[in-house]
Amino acid sequence: MGSVILGMTMSLDGFINDPGGSVARLYPDFDQLRETEQLREAIRNTGAVVMGRHAYGMGDPDEYADNYEFQAPIFVLTHEPPQQHPRENDRLTFTFVTDGIESAVAQAKAAAGDRDVTIIGGASTFQQCLRAGLADELQIDIMPVLLGGGLRLFEHLGTEPIELEKIGGAENPTPVRTALRFRIKQRNK
Amino acid sequence: MGSVILGMTMSLDGFINDPGGSVARLYPDFDQLRETEQLREAIRNTGAVVMGRHAYGMGDPDEYADNYEFQAPIFVLTHEPPQQHPRENDRLTFTFVTDGIESAVAQAKAAAGDRDVTIIGGASTFQQCLRAGLADELQIDIMPVLLGGGLRLFEHLGTEPIELEKIGGAENPTPVRTALRFRIKQRNK
């Protein structure tokens, strides 16, 4: 059985984009990042992907089948599926899930089989997963910048602490990043 | 000439205490921490300390002379000096600074000579230093917990980004901590 992995890149002050909505300062190493062993390993281990509607819409939906790094079933959490179903291929399919994050993660786990489910933000999907205790592992890359504003990653989690367990030996994928890896000790499990 | 060092311990979600004001979950390694080589080195390198009024009041002022790890001149940023001057010794003296953070840091630098100025929070003093561009180095220890609320460390910084430069090779003082070290590239310098 694989793990459900929440992964995000944030500034040291906890933002996943800047006050203007740009992520440029968080990905100065964008080109380098796509060539890393860490990404290749994530791709090998990922059996299904969950993403929020906003994250889905950041790319051209019809381009995923050709260009998306994770060629795996994708579950998009949304209130309203798009009228035209995006292009798929043998490995990459789209399922639009309208009945909540628990359902999206459950469907993704079934599709992933023994492999991992990778949750690709945005912030709201990320927070819903944490609140509902659906994730096993937290992978946070910290970038060397204070953005001072923007979209906060860790918010709306409730005020009961969530204990984490540091996973040692995480290698930084590129020199500017600091890779933090934690096992999530669930509140209610 | 030494550096001005801002150091704090925070939860992964950026809080320096929990919603009830407790720091207990951020210092499960408190006893271990006082014996680390990192603290011994910080003590050797620190020529003066700046602290906010609240941080100062967290201990018994008359106990600093006997028990405080940094036996050095201490500059307390406050609106109102205490009516009774706390006990001092040959190395540890108190100066209550009422004319702002720039003045407190300037006086601490003069007292520190070739050694470092260590800024001991709280959050407000920390934020004032960052906003005013007074610090050279940021030392953040991240603890494996999401507190969900409490006092945020990185807030009120303005919305101009502050670029940092990762300082490599930081050793974690205790296994649960992740020590992040950055040089601060000033906005206005």
- Tokens of residue A129, six digits: 């997963």
For residues A23 and B12, what is the distance between their CA atoms, to the nearest angstrom?
Answer: 20
- Tokens of residue A83, six digits: 């009228």
pLDDT over 90 (residue B187): no
Delimit the domains of chain B by residue range. 4-185
Quote the ipTM score.
0.94
pLDDT in tens, B100-111: 999 999 999 999
* Contact residues, B window 22-51, toward A, CB-based 8 Å cutoff: 25
B178 touches chain A (CB under 8 A): yes
| Structure confidence at residue A152 (pLDDT) | 96
Residues of B in contact with A164 (CB under 8 A): 12, 144-146
In chain A, the percentage of residues whose pLDDT exceeds 90 is 89
Fold topology of B4-185: Dihydrofolate Reductase, subunit A (3.40.430)
Contact A182 B144 (CB under 8 A): yes
Please name the helix (run of DSSP H) or strand (run of DSSP E) that holds residue B128, with its range, or none.
helix B123-131
For residues A130 and A126, what is the distance between their CA atoms, to the nearest angstrom?
Answer: 6
Closest to B146 measured CA to CA, from B26, B32, B44, B21: B26
Q: How far is CA A139 from CA A8, A118, A121, A180, in A?
A: 6, 10, 12, 6
**pTM score > 0.90 for this model?**
yes
Task: Kindly give the parts of chain A with pLDDT less than 50.
Answer: 189
Mean pLDDT of the region B73-79: 97
pLDDT in tens, B153-180: 999 998 899 999 999 777 899 999 999 9
Closest to B153 measured CA to CA, from B13, B28, B39, B4: B13
Mean pLDDT score across all residues of chain B: 94
| Structure confidence at residue A189 (pLDDT) | 44
Closest to A140 measured CA to CA, from A3, A13, A1: A13
Mean pLDDT of the region B20-46: 93
In chain A, the percentage of residues whose pLDDT exceeds 70 is 98
| Structure confidence at residue A157 (pLDDT) | 93
Q: Tell whether the torsion through CA atoms of A176, A182, A188 and A189 is positive or negative.
A: positive
Task: Select the residue of B142, B164, B165 nearest A146 (Cβ to Cβ).
Answer: B164
For residues B47 and B33, what is the distance between their CA atoms, to the nearest angstrom?
Answer: 21
